[in-house]
Chain A
Amino acid sequence: MEILDGLLSGLSVAFSPMNLLFVALGVTLGTVFGLLPGIGPTAAVALLLPLTFTMEPASGVIMLAGIYYGSMYGGRIPAILMRLPGDSSSVLTTLDGYPLTQQGRAGAALGITAIGSFLGGTVAIIGLTILAPTLARYASVFAPPELFLLMTFGLLMIVLIASGNVVKSIIMALFGILIATIGMDPITGTSRLTFGSYELSAGIGIIPLAIGLFGIGEVLNNMASGDNRRQSIGKMNGVMPTWADWVVSRMAILRASILGFFIGVLPGGGGTVSSVFAYGVEKKLSKNPEKFGKGAIDGLAATETADNASSNSAFVPLLTLGVPPNPVLALIFGALLLQNITPGPQLVNEHPDVFYGVIASMYIGNIILLLLNLPMIRVFVSILRIPQSLLGPLVILIAICGVYAVANSMFDVLLMMVFGLLGFILRRFAFDLTPLILGFILGPMLEVEWRRTMIMSGGSMDIFMERTGSLIILLLLLTTVLLVAFNAMKRRRSLMHRVRNIASEEM
């Protein structure tokens, strides 16, 4: 009953004319940015983040959420038509999507993925509506030791899942935490690591960091590798899949919806992991596994459905525990912080308009996306014809204006450019930027909860083992770390072994 009341109040927030406009704007912009090659969802949200500062908190988050799941829809279009994945989660879409385009079935591929995305998204939003308030209620009893361990757990999961090299990812997370310590001490207000710079004493903002790392870094990467070619776009006939396509795909869509929802709830589990998982399951269950990779429409439907389901359910840990499970949600977390709202167990009680408003807006956003992606798909496809050489400088200019607008500071623009170069270099050396941004976002909160815990315990670490809640999280954390670290080591060893074998065969 409480959930239903909450949802109804959320719908009244989401159905206000301005919020309807913002959700429509968000999903449209998200689709456009998602389909532009080289601009993934993280860059899209980072670039458009400054626009939300002047908005009401609920409206701002509604628009940013729309950009996020809209970009998931958009990302599949170049993946299917051009074999050009916009982000890592679209890589799997190319496997069966592009072969279908080559077979003259691009329309069916786009159609079934739009329907799958809609159904997956809707299942996940229903799950989110039920699970989020319940989880928030349980989490509201958490004290600093549990919150500290929970955030550490979230960060570690992302570090362990995000990249093959665990140590490099931990280094990145620590680097993010360190960058966040620049500026004022959150408790005493003393300046630290500013090296006498007046500008740095206010700290480094999420906007110059995120736009630099993900926006400018990505543009630089595309520019420097000379990837300015205009690629050919596959031909598209109608956008409705045949009845046979639907029959083959319907169970795959159902399974992927549920699977995507549950994987999306886990930190680091959204997007790519859910797509890989759903694809693997469908390949195992399929009567024709040999078709996978050659245009299996059920495989394609499964990856896109899981991708969208997980992007919606990823809001569960953010809204209920205050742990952003991926970089995009870390940015939405940052946007809320800038509005003086701290996401976490208290969000549902303190800001029910934001909590339920965002959830309710997702139902609306998902319907708008289905409408945009079936009858209006050709409009979006035509955007793919914009050459990369035009987009890059435009993104740089938007980034400059956006970053400057936040604090009227050219120093922030300089910082953004520095982080852009840093992002470019780190990306080139296969350093995952996800742990960096999450370390940056979670760092200040980790510090505050750590200091509160230590004050509670008089400096004793035993507190983590004396409290039932923290002990459970601690055991869960240790088990996960051991399991994932063991698997990562095994994978790396086998990779090294295979490299040596192939190298010796070639000599």
Chain B
Amino acid sequence: MNSRLVDMRQQLRDTWAHVLVVLVLAIIFAIALWSGYALGTGTFASPGTGLWPVLASSAGVVLSLLVLIHHTLSGKEKVIPSNELFSDVSWRKVLVFSASVTAFLILYSLIGFLLSATLLIFVLLKYAFEARWALSIIMSIVAPLLLYVIFTELLSVRL
């Protein structure tokens, strides 16, 4: 495809997935709006705790809805194919990242920083960044150990 066209499409990016992101943001703004109201808004002269979140989130809801309505009316998805956005993304790597970080957060309280960080770095290096075995093993031992020494000995942080 014409590279100029790809560049321009990248700039526009009004795809169904993009609209989904705006929709999620609209829902978050709506929840905040509701919570803000529940806290009490008061008046401008005597603002309640919820006034500021209500002001910010109501503007967010209105603008998100504007984007959604604009998208529905203009039908831009016909101009920009939606499958181009993530064509270069390896979802397996994103999954490996998410799973290994979750495992790290759970294991940290059970086996401590050094072991859990070693496992995390090894999995990330080998399966997300696709490094060689030897490099993955060496780095996953050396890097956590080095940072452990820096943080605990030099910066007095208990890891």
B interface residues (Cβ-Cβ under 8 A, vs A): 1-2, 4-5, 8-13, 17-18, 21-22, 25, 28-29, 32, 35-36, 39, 43-47, 49-50, 52-53, 56-57, 59-60, 63-64, 66-67, 79, 85-86, 88-91, 93-94, 97-98, 101, 104-105, 108-109, 117, 120-121, 124-125, 128-131, 135, 139, 143-144, 147, 150-151, 155, 157-159
Contact = CB atoms under 8 A, between A and B. Distances in A.
B111 to A, nearest CB: 13
A495 to B, nearest CB: 6
Contacts of A389: 125, 129-131
A396 B124 contact: yes
Contacts of A398: 147
Interface residues of A, number: 70
Residue among B108, B129, B130 facing the most chain A CB atoms (10 A cut-off)? B129
A139 interface: no
A168 B130 CA distance: 35
Contact of A502 (B8, B59, B144): B8
A344 B129 CA distance: 43
A171 B157 contact: no
Given A447-B52, A458-B45, A410 B105 contact: yes
A224 B45 contact: no
Nearest to A505: B2
Query: Closest 9 A-B residue pairs measured CB to CB?
Result: A459-B45, A459-B44, A389-B129, A405-B157, A174-B60, A393-B124, A185-B49, A190-B49, A177-B56
Contacts, number: 183
Interface stretch (A233-241, A258-266, A427-435): A427-435
Contact of B67 (A167, A188, A500, A503): A167
Contacts of B155: 51, 54, 405
Contacts of A220: 94, 97
Contacts of B120: 396-397
Contacts of B22: 168, 171
Contact of A192 (B35, B43, B124): B35
A58 interface: no
Nearest to B86: A428
Given A192-B35, A506-B2, A429 B85 contact: yes
A413 interface: yes
A228 interface: yes
A1 interface: no
A421 interface: yes
Contacts of A401: 147, 150-151, 157, 159
B66 A224 contact: no
A49 to B, nearest CB: 13
A390 B21 contact: no
A192 B88 contact: no
22 contacts: A167-B63, A170-B59, A171-B25, A178-B57, A178-B60, A193-B32, A195-B35, A223-B128, A387-B131, A393-B128, A393-B139, A401-B157, A408-B158, A417-B101, A421-B98, A429-B18, A429-B85, A431-B21, A450-B52, A459-B46, A496-B12, A498-B8
Interface string A106-145: 0000000000000000000000000000000000000000
Chain B contact residues: helix, strand, loop or mixed:
helix
B79 A404 contact: no
Chain A interface main SS type: helix
A397 B117 contact: yes
A181 interface: yes
B46 to A, nearest CB: 8
B5 A171 contact: no
B79 A500 contact: yes
A443 B151 contact: no
B21 A425 contact: yes
Contacts of B13: 429-430
Interface in A376-397: 387-390, 392-394, 396-397
A170 B129 CA distance: 35
B43 A459 contact: yes
Contacts of B135: 390
